[in-house]
Amino acid sequence: MKALCYNGVGDLRTERVPDPTIINPKDAILRVILSSVCGSDLHLLNGYVPTMREGDIIGHEFMGEVIEIGSEVKKLKKGDRVVVCSILGCGECQYCQSTQWSLCDNSNPHAWIPEKAYGDSPAGIFGYSHAFGGYAGSHADYIRVPYADRGCFVIPEGLPDEAAVFASDALPTGFMAADLADIQPGNVVAIWGCGGVGQMAIQSAFLLGASRVIAIDREPDRLRMAKDISGAEVLDFSKVDIQQALREMTGGRGPDRCIDCVGMEAVSEGLDYYYDKAKQFVRLESDRPIVLREAILACRKGGTVSIIGVYGGLVDSIPMGAAMNKALTFRMGQQHGQRYIPRLLEHLQKGELNSGFMLTRKMSLDEGMAGYDLFNKKETMRVVFAP
């Protein structure tokens, strides 16, 4: 089959690789119909996630058709059109059973790698480096899905592939960001980052009762979508002082809930960007926590900061004094997709959430590198490959 393989920083190649086969009884094999790029792939591609190996197939946000099932797969059958959670959960460990799926004890065969850095191992993720299991990703004609009954969700009839594919990652991640923020009716929510996850977080925040959502980015297209489609008020951080603007827009209080949908590769117009970039370059810091710092300062006293943008390693100059003395609550984590996906598919079907607009470019696998270049330069919202 064809697959998009990592060959080094900024180097993806479409290659011929063997077809996947059933390895364990709970596996299924899917024919990939759509497979989306994701902002977190850029962390891999730009070299911020170690333990990538040449030849790894990337991609983790996908939907497809079940073509083969293992002997212990009970719920799925051949021909099912399914969307698959990007994070793997075994369904049996204590974490999965308490619906904290991204903390699964069993789905990372390389648990010993993150354990060294994190003290524990999070779940495995498709196509997301060997620290997260080294699973072959979805930018391929076919993919093996372990624990298939747990990770695959049948797409309701009538819901198009183009909308359903985002129920794999961007939508449940954005929804979880809003859920973690513990939004109370009437809350004002500020959201940094208007990529796929940010857009979904905006819509989810409204769904969970926010009265206003203020979205922050600098890409005109993304700000336009945040405003016109997702319904947020928008701020362009390249043009306005975010701290001041958020204060003034909230009567001096600050937003009740702040959501970081950016993570470790944040950019800003200020000196702090160059400070973090330099430290990252000499490996004194692995992540650039520009958004996190901003969110802590902007958040109202007693508010909640929800972190869903991915951080991988170490950060510094976090204003802990501000966080402590303002009695902020921090909530964070990788998405527990299996908890949210069934509910989100319903919201999509009823038109209460809109995800299909994010697919701005459909390309073939052969155009993989070009697709990521476009996405990396933020020239398009989301490139989706149709193998």
Partner 1 sequence: MANKKQPVSSVLGMGPIEPDISGSSRINVDDTERIWSAAGGALLATYGLRRGSFSGLLLATLGGFMVYRGASGYCPMNQALGRNTAEPKADDKAVDSIEIAKSLTINKPRKEVYAYWRQLENLPQFMFHLGEVRQLDNKRSHWVAKLSDGLLAKTLGPVEWDAEILAEVKNERLVWKSVADARIDNAGEVSFVDAPNGQGTEMHAVIKYRPPAGQLGGAIMKLFNPAFEEMIKQDLRRFKQLLETGEITTIAGQPSGRKSEQQSGKKPVAEQAKIDEKHESAML
Residues that bind partner 1 (CB under 8 A): 1, 3, 5-7, 13, 15, 17-21, 23-26, 53-57, 72, 90-94, 97, 105-113, 116, 124, 130, 133-136, 140, 144, 146-147
Please identify, using beta-carbon distances, which residue of 113 and 190 lies nearer to partner 1: 113
As measured in angstroms, the least distance from the Cβ of 272 to partner 1 is: 34
Task: Calculate helix-pair angle for 271-281, 290-298, nearest 10 degrees.
Answer: 140
Please identify, using beta-carbon distances, which residue of 72 and 346 lies nearer to partner 1: 72
Distances from the Cα of 310 to the Cα of 49, 93, 186, 196, 340, angstroms: 11, 24, 28, 14, 19
As measured in angstroms, the least distance from the Cβ of 78 to partner 1 is: 20
Please identify, using beta-carbon distances, which residue of 22 and 386 lies nearer to partner 1: 22
Please identify, using beta-carbon distances, which residue of 72 and 316 lies nearer to partner 1: 72
SS3 label, residue 331: strand
Q: What angle do CA 308, 334, 294 make, to 5 degrees?
A: 20
Please identify, using beta-carbon distances, which residue of 19 and 269 lies nearer to partner 1: 19
As measured in angstroms, the least distance from the Cβ of 67 to partner 1 is: 15
Please identify, using beta-carbon distances, which residue of 73 and 353 lies nearer to partner 1: 73
As measured in angstroms, the least distance from the Cβ of 330 to partner 1 is: 25
- C-alpha 77: how far from its chain's center? 28
As measured in angstroms, the least distance from the Cβ of 66 to partner 1 is: 17
Please identify, using beta-carbon distances, which residue of 112 and 330 lies nearer to partner 1: 112
Please identify, using beta-carbon distances, which residue of 150 and 382 lies nearer to partner 1: 150
As measured in angstroms, the least distance from the Cβ of 76 to partner 1 is: 16
- Which of 279-288's residues contact partners 24+ apart within 8 Å by CB, and which partners? 279/316, 284/316, 285/313, 285/314, 285/315, 285/316, 286/48, 286/312, 286/313, 286/314, 286/315, 287/48, 287/263, 287/311, 287/312, 287/313, 287/314, 287/315, 288/264, 288/315
Q: Do 237 and 267 contact (CB within 8 A), yes or no?
A: no
Please identify, using beta-carbon distances, which residue of 109 and 231 lies nearer to partner 1: 109
Helical ranges in the chain per DSSP H: 39-45, 94-97, 112-118, 148-151, 161-164, 170-180, 196-207, 220-228, 242-249, 271-281, 290-298, 320-325, 337-349, 368-376
Please identify, using beta-carbon distances, which residue of 54 and 228 lies nearer to partner 1: 54
Q: Do 59 and 52 contact (CB within 8 A), yes or no?
A: no
Query: Taking every pair of C-alpha atoms in the chain, what is the biggest distance, in angstroms?
Result: 60
Scored b (16 or more CB within 10 A) or e, 236-261 reads: ebeeeebeebbbebbeeebbbbbbbb
As measured in angstroms, the least distance from the Cβ of 100 to partner 1 is: 13
Torsion sign (Cα): 40, 43, 46, 50: negative
Q: Is 88 left (phi over 0), alpha (psi -120 to 50) or beta?
A: beta
As measured in angstroms, the least distance from the Cβ of 23 to partner 1 is: 5
As measured in angstroms, the least distance from the Cβ of 94 to partner 1 is: 5
As measured in angstroms, the least distance from the Cβ of 117 to partner 1 is: 12
